Amino acid sequence: MQITGKTKITGIFGYPIEHTLSPLMHNAAFKAIGINFCYLPFRVKPENLGTAVDAIRALNIVGVNITIPHKVNVMSFLDEINEEALFIGAVNTILNKDGRLTGYNTDGRGFMKSLEENGIDIKNKKVLIIGAGGAARAVGYYICKEAASLIISGRTRQKADRLADDLRNISKCQISVTDSIEDLKSYDIIVNSTPLGLKEDDPLPVKIDNLFNHQVICDLIYKETPLIKEARKRNCKTLNGLGMLLWQGVLAFRIWTSKEPPVEIMRKALESAFI
């Protein structure tokens, strides 16, 4: 990549940031379609978030992704937030248009694209989401528009109740909250939206013996978690979060460049990190 006086800057704000795969995916895409853009990681401490957002304007940065732990707090520094991100209560993409910053959330649509390309249809299905944080809100926003019923299981009951109430306001789907995820047989699709599985010694988010081979098991974590491995052994259809990561990036790319993203190049760049 040749940096010139005309290079347009994009990037990602997070803390820590060293683990991010997004620069691989976006820089490969810019190169592939021959546009003079680059994507940089920015290690932004929580106490510097406001200053960092001001720098998007001051340095004429085209846009950034936002990751842990800034997705919620960044909202108060923006000029505008689109409807989807407002509902979700978190922003993962910012666009700078002449100094005016708009926040978007592409995570939920990214998840739906990942389901679609894997032939997983949630129309009229019974779906269980485990967890009620930002990612659950993002995927729930779309799942409730197609599923027949959606059941939320959250460690903090209040958060799960709030998400259920919010989703009832935007869909006709049957929505409920459960404290028990022992009996899983009736669910068609189960989505883990907790971080359980990121660490080696994490417990599984559900009892593996309670899964059945007619079920689809999705994990939003983008690496192969023990949940995904065990579910595959039980002949369940499985989906990890790599597709969601890809598609949320594809959607952000489109927001920043208004160009058609080279999806397969972006996919290969992400997959290369796991070889």
Residues with a catalytic annotation lie at 71
Q: Which helix (H) or strand (E) holds 165?
A: helix 157-168
Give least dist CB 134 to ligand NAP, A: 4
Give least dist CB 147 to ligand NAP, A: 19
Give least dist CB 66 to ligand NAP, A: 11
List all residues 6 or more positions away from 156 whose beta carbon is below 8 Å from its beta carbon: 132
Contact residues for ligand NAP, defined by CB under 6 A: 107, 110, 131-136, 154-156, 159, 193-196, 198, 220-222, 241, 244-245, 248
Angle at 222 between CA 107 and CA 25, to 5 degrees: 70
Nearer to ligand NAP, 148 or 255 (CB): 255
Question: What whole-number distance in Å separates Cα of residue 225 and Cα of residue 28?
Answer: 26
Nearer to ligand NAP, 140 or 262 (CB): 140
Question: What whole-number distance in Å separates Cα of residue 176 and Cα of residue 167?
Answer: 10
Q: Which of 81, 77, 37 is nearest to 54 (CA)?
A: 77
Nearer to ligand NAP, 55 or 271 (CB): 271
Burial classification of residue 252, based on how many CB atoms lie within 10 Å of its CB (0-12 exposed, 13-18 middle, 19 or more buried): buried
Give least dist CB 2 to ligand NAP, A: 30
Question: What whole-number distance in Å separates Cα of residue 164 and Cα of residue 141?
Answer: 10
**Gyration radius from the chain CA atoms:** 19
Residue with the closest Cβ to ligand NAP? 133
List all residues 6 or more positions away from 132 whose beta carbon is below 8 Å from its beta carbon: 152, 154, 155, 156, 159, 160, 162, 163, 193
DSSP code string of 196-208: TTSSTTPPPSS-G
Give least dist CB 45 to ligand NAP, A: 18
